[in-house]
A = this chain, B = another copy of it.
Amino acid sequence: MSTHLSGKARTQFLAIKGGERYAYRRFGGGPGLLLLLLQHFTGTLDNWDPALTDALAEGRELILFDNAGIGRSSGSVPTTVAGMAKHAAAFLDGLGVDTCDVLGFSLGGMVAQQMVLDRPTVFRRLILVGTAPRGGEDIMHLEKPRLAKHLQDPSNKGYSVLQKIFFTLTPSGQAAGASFVERLAERKEDLDGVSGPEVADAQMAAFRDWERFTGERFADLRTIRHPTLVVNGVHDEMIPVVNSYRLVENLPNAVLLTYPDAGHGSLFQYHDSFAHQAAAFLSVTSESAVY
């Protein structure tokens, strides 16, 4: 497994005047539009699977981004998705990025939706993986026995808990999870470190807020005309696939792809397929999500 592009990418920092200093990594190249990657609950720059980011980086430049208070970004973690979206927009503005594509995974997919509502011209195409619309259901309830069992097991140290909660418990799911954890561990220096409980608490507050809605449920989605690819593992315990159903039923221009025998980490489990499908979707130049 060659993960040279991701592995060699050094962490950079962008200080916004009167604002925060954000950590990011920028690498890759090719004919595609710049792709911003927005990360999952408690995830840092180090939580992007290098097998996936290497494959994506072969066709376009990528930016991995630490939101405020995550990894080596300064500031405190917002307790709302809207607050996170403001930081990500400030980062793009500071970098001088006028337009890009975005891949938002889990919490990152919520931030992407909020950003496209706030600033529709910034994004061309959206990829939303293992995420939920505002007003979605059963979003990251880590107290559920199926998840709590693994999170409270002291033998699950470091990344190994991700093998249990991002992947199905079938032999094939766990084998894919073990490979994922090995790939994350390839990076030995220039690391972000692990997020602490203050990150988790603030992000969990944002999930609870995101479950609430006012007015007509999912009405915001109908205003997003951007071509969107929605991806979900069909057995996702963290953000169940029903949330992806609601996304494509209400987004006017969205294709859904679900993966079998996969949980929250479907994009990492099937990194070859996902990178191939994502590249095919991103390469379309029409206004349609269909690829």
Contact = CB atoms under 8 A, between A and B. Distances in A.
A15 to B, nearest CB: 41
A194 interface: no
Contacts of A258: 248, 255-256
Interface string A244-267: 010011011111111111000000
Interface residues of A, number: 23
A240 to B, nearest CB: 10
Contacts of A249: 234-235, 241
For the complex, would chain A's binding face be called helix, strand, loop or mixed by DSSP majority?
Answer: loop
A235 B222 CA distance: 14
B260 A251 contact: yes
A261 B245 CA distance: 14
A211 to B, nearest CB: 21
Contacts of A251: 260
A290 B252 contact: no
A256 B253 contact: no
A126 to B, nearest CB: 13
A204 interface: no
Contacts of A213: none
Interface in A258-291: 258-261, 270, 273, 288-291
Given A234-B249, A245-B245, A248-B234, A290 B259 contact: yes
A257 B257 contact: yes
Contact of A254 (B252, B260, B288, B289): B260
Nearest to A253: B260
- 5 nearest A-B residue pairs (beta carbon): A256-B258, A273-B290, A270-B290, A253-B260, A234-B248
